[in-house]
Copies of this chain bind each other. A is one copy, B any other.
């Protein structure tokens, strides 16, 4: 878990919002071409990150928000006593760092799980520009709100679902997000370990492993280590919200 981590390097990549294939999924969604140009001026730093790098660490002062161009990461909240809880997994088009606006300090670590590229969005510039461009303002608010909504979903999951349901919800959520990004909704690579899945779902890694095996033997999925294929997506959906369980 605690392997030494690279220092991240900052380098300017040649990409721009106006030419980025993600711009309908990302912060600039719905902007006009000329507004997109303004975004390009705002986001001049893009970072290239390797597996194990931190985008930011808990306690660090907030410089910017980060839009994920490519790759995969997790954010995890740390407890004084060393406990760590994965608060979310993030992929291209996601915006991270918003938890830090309140205090000016990040309160979770953002750790790269698969080599990634992120765009650095200075908060001050974003504030300034969203005063000029109402649709940017609205979209930024929507993104923050969606994060709150997502968190409520996780709370529901952690507070009242049994292990099978948690896993099913997790897989369905990944599936849906991959689909929204143009990837297969039924076949993908799990970029995180069983332990990280478990931490996110409030389960131990053994339980995650056992439950995946169980799904496999029921013919719902096919897993081979990190490679996962969903065979009966409807059965998975039915599984969620069944079982008299802990209501």
Spell out A's residues near B (CB within 8 Å).
Answer: 77, 79-83, 85, 87, 98-103, 107-108, 127, 130-131, 134, 137-138, 141-149, 151-156, 158-160, 199-202, 204, 241-242, 246-247
Candidates B80, B144, B154, B201; contact of A141 at CB < 8 Å: B144
Candidates B82, B142, B152, B204; contact of A77 at CB < 8 Å: B152
Candidates B144, B200, B247; contact of A144 at CB < 8 Å: B144
Candidates B87, B131, B143, B204; contact of A155 at CB < 8 Å: B87
Chain B residue with Cβ nearest A141:
B101
Q: Is the CB of A107 within 8 A of B160?
A: no
Chain B residue with Cβ nearest A143:
B102
Whole-angstrom distance between the alpha carbons of A160 and B80 in the complex? Answer: 13
Q: Is the CB of B152 within 8 A of A101?
A: no
**Between-chain CB contacts (< 8 Å), 23 pairs:** A77-B152, A79-B160, A85-B159, A87-B152, A99-B149, A100-B145, A101-B142, A101-B144, A102-B143, A102-B145, A102-B149, A103-B145, A103-B149, A108-B152, A127-B137, A127-B138, A131-B134, A141-B144, A148-B148, A154-B155, A158-B158, A158-B202, A159-B201
Instruction: Determine how close the nearest CB of chain B comes to the CB of A202; give it in whole angstroms.
Output: 4
Whole-angstrom distance between the alpha carbons of A101 and B151 in the complex? Answer: 14
Whole-angstrom distance between the alpha carbons of A147 and B149 in the complex? Answer: 10
Q: Please, which residues of chain B bring their CB within 8 A of the CB of A108?
A: 152
One complex includes copies of this chain to the number of 2
Q: Please, which residues of chain B bring their CB within 8 A of the CB of A143?
A: 102
Q: Please, which residues of chain B bring their CB within 8 A of the CB of A241?
A: 79-81, 83
Given A87-B155, A137-B131, the answer on whether A148 and B77 have CB atoms closer than 8 Å is no
Candidates B98, B134, B204; contact of A145 at CB < 8 Å: B98
Q: Is the CB of B144 within 8 A of A148?
A: yes
Q: Which 10 A-B pairs have the closest CB atoms?
A: A101-B145, A151-B151, A158-B158, A159-B202, A102-B145, A102-B146, A81-B241, A85-B156, A144-B144, A85-B159
Q: Please, which residues of chain B bring their CB within 8 A of the CB of A147?
A: 148
Whole-angstrom distance between the alpha carbons of A147 and B159 in the complex? Answer: 18
Q: Is the CB of B85 within 8 A of A142?
A: no
Q: Please, which residues of chain B bring their CB within 8 A of the CB of A153?
A: 77
Given A144-B141, A148-B144, the answer on whether A160 and B101 have CB atoms closer than 8 Å is no
Q: Please, which residues of chain B bring their CB within 8 A of the CB of A138?
A: 127
